[in-house]
Structure 1
């Protein structure tokens, strides 16, 4: 799972870095941003984590640009290539954000309608605020007054190393923030250690589901599977609890590297194997753990792939494959929030039907109330659902 970084909105999200995409498709021309400056045509590589297309209309701007003008022109499709003070750009982005957020979300009839309207608004917000662009010179140097040093952060995010490029200020701030998360790590009380998320890998900021995994009595188990391991935090937690062998699976290259690095730093390489697989590895295990994305909806940004799962693909894949991968007497632990149910995106009966159709039975369930800040934010349009949310660990077994 990934730290909350500000990424642009787009529909093509395959998890590869910029350089990985370029290597995989060497004959595909790179997306270019084009503009006119001082009467001359200019261009540079366009960097977008989510493959959002470069803006078609670009004007050069500096500290003289007023927030009201920036907001109105961005809403009409004009992007601003910044040539002023870097802190001035940040201040402008903050002012634009206030203008975008001051209009309340219209009240809808159902929680599902409110959710979909909220997502539409967030996508529009991301597009508008993504119109403030920052140039980056070859070597990942930002040629603006008072600009921070971003080379290490940009290289860690897979930005072009030796060519000029342009990206949105929001994406650059996300890259910088993600690099800080990686350097400093996140304290995990259940592990009594820190986990270091990489750029593009969702950070385990919520403690509720981690505490459920830490407290649930372990069945007799020699081997456990952790499906969709992300940072590797659950695999590490199982190993720390005494499981002799944990196979942690992932498809995303960034997550595979992140999990392997965290496992090694924690001294668990001899007990945790990080491997590339679409959910299940080969073989069977006495315990299979899965924390799939909790909401059955399409992600509109790369970061959201850890939260949104179209058609509940990962949830369904875990359930349908579980009985065939459990050792006799083994258990599957499904970590899932009921937020989708509270928002009208899935019913409890639909979940139970999926479990039954997979030849599984519910052996028990442990619940936890969320303690993340958004559950107490009364200004959040989804506050009512978030405040009532319950995170559960479902213990599943194969039916006889």
Structure 2
């Protein structure tokens, strides 16, 4: 039996209310809720938010957006962003990472305290509210009931809708990939280019793509001439996204999508996987593409790879070494897991990231990001 959705409770003009609470990050409904409008100033709103009191907005929607920006400026100032010296100097890259994640979490909790009401049919009952019905239907499906959501999450949903419409240019495809809400966008093109440039094993008639996401790597392999690509993912949003992208690119006949945990049945001469790179706990659904607690997916891929490779086949592991520079996963551990799985390293192709954070000296993890290398490890059976 499916659990009843969580409810958010508040009192307004002497009347008690309770409606469905929605949080993609899995945050519980706030226990304290105050009704707020255009008369509330940013300092009062920030104080209440820091104390754990959520603000259910009843004023002008655009004013709520401006208030959220003001709250963000106060949160950034509190956590040292923009100052010459941080509030606390980390003793190591690992501590810097944990302090950074802690600050991110605190900031997210504070900014999530500004709430927006929805009426059935994804209507926002506020002045100057935008029409977000299409974006909400894409992300959540049909909406027949009232609910409350944080403004920050709503703006993220609207932003994802715009990303989906515009798409992301993929030079390796000569086309665009359109990410859906909750599916990690392939904005780091260097790892895609590695898959496009690495020579295919001989007689690659079938390839497995483990963790398909948007379907970008399956599309690259199909465009390279692999007759059959079988892609798996456990996330239904990802499968829907990949299916739409594959269809748009006209690759339906070559790419098959399966809802599966890791490997499809059988063996293939090429098995590709781009697991999350950082062994830490994700704080939202989309962060599962970046954070992998205890390197679970990485370990599962290595442990099962040998049993799914054809004779003479290759497994391509696409992995950043950012975790190594942060002190979260030594290179020795990766090499041990490869050996324990009965695998050998056939070769490795490296590339340096070109995303903006790699050159942002103000980023608290700049030293690690500046040293980061993304690699395609070619693995074979020992």
TM-score, shorter chain, exceeding 0.5: yes
Aligned to 1:117: 99
TM-superposed CA distance for 1:183, in Å, is 1.7
Aligned to 2:157: 175
8 Å contact 1:339–1:386 — kept in the other structure? yes
Matches within 5 A, 1:346-357: 346-357=329-340
Partner residue of 2:245 out of 254, 258, 262: 262
TM-score, with structure 1 as normaliser: 0.92
Kindly indicate whether residue 145 of structure 2 is the aligned counterpart of residue 163 of structure 1. yes
Aligned to 1:92: 67
Aligned to 2:58: 83
Aligned to 1:397: 380
Aligned to 1:297: 280
Kindly indicate whether residue 208 of structure 2 is the aligned counterpart of residue 225 of structure 1. yes
8 Å contact 1:47–1:159 — kept in the other structure? no
TM-score, with structure 2 as normaliser: 0.96
Partner residue of 2:118 out of 132, 136, 141: 136
TM-superposed CA distance for 1:160, in Å, is 6.0
Aligned counterparts of 1:33 and 1:61: Cα–Cα separation in 2:
16
TM-superposed CA distance for 1:288, in Å, is 0.5
TM-superposed CA distance for 1:43, in Å, is 2.0
**Greater CA drift, 148-157 or 158-167:** 158-167
Aligned counterparts of 2:26 and 2:96: Cα–Cα separation in 1:
28
**More relative contact order, 1 or 2 (CA 8 Å, 6+ apart):** 1
TM-superposed CA distance for 1:173, in Å, is 0.4
Partner residue of 2:33 out of 55, 58, 62: 58
8 Å contact 2:306–2:380 — kept in the other structure? yes
Matches within 5 A, 1:201-240: 201-220=183-202, 221-240=204-223
Runs ≥4 in structure 1, deviation > 3 angstroms?
A: none
Question: How many equivalent pairs are there?
Answer: 374
Query: Structure 1, residues 301-326: CA drift from partner, whole Å, max 9, x if none?
Result: 11210001111111111111111111
8 Å contact 2:26–2:284 — kept in the other structure? no
Aligned counterparts of 2:113 and 2:7: Cα–Cα separation in 1:
15
Aligned-residue CA RMSD in angstroms?
1.1
TM-superposed CA distance for 1:50, in Å, is 2.4
Partner residue of 2:168 out of 186, 210, 216: 186
Partner residue of 2:271 out of 271, 278, 288: 288
Q: Secondary structure at the match of 2:317?
A: strand
Structure 1 unpaired stretches of 5+:
1-23
Query: Structure 1, residues 167-223: CA drift from partner, whole Å, max 9, x if none?
Result: 000010011111111122111111111111111111101111011111111111110
Aligned counterparts of 2:310 and 2:243: Cα–Cα separation in 1:
26
Structure 2 unpaired stretches of 5+:
81-85
Aligned to 1:4: none
TM-superposed CA distance for 1:159, in Å, is 6.0
Aligned counterparts of 2:198 and 2:237: Cα–Cα separation in 1:
29
Aligned counterparts of 1:122 and 1:296: Cα–Cα separation in 2:
17
Query: Structure 1, residues 22-51: CA drift from partner, whole Å, max 9, x if none?
Result: xx61xx332111111112112221111122
Matches within 5 A, 1:21-40: 25=2, 28-40=3-15
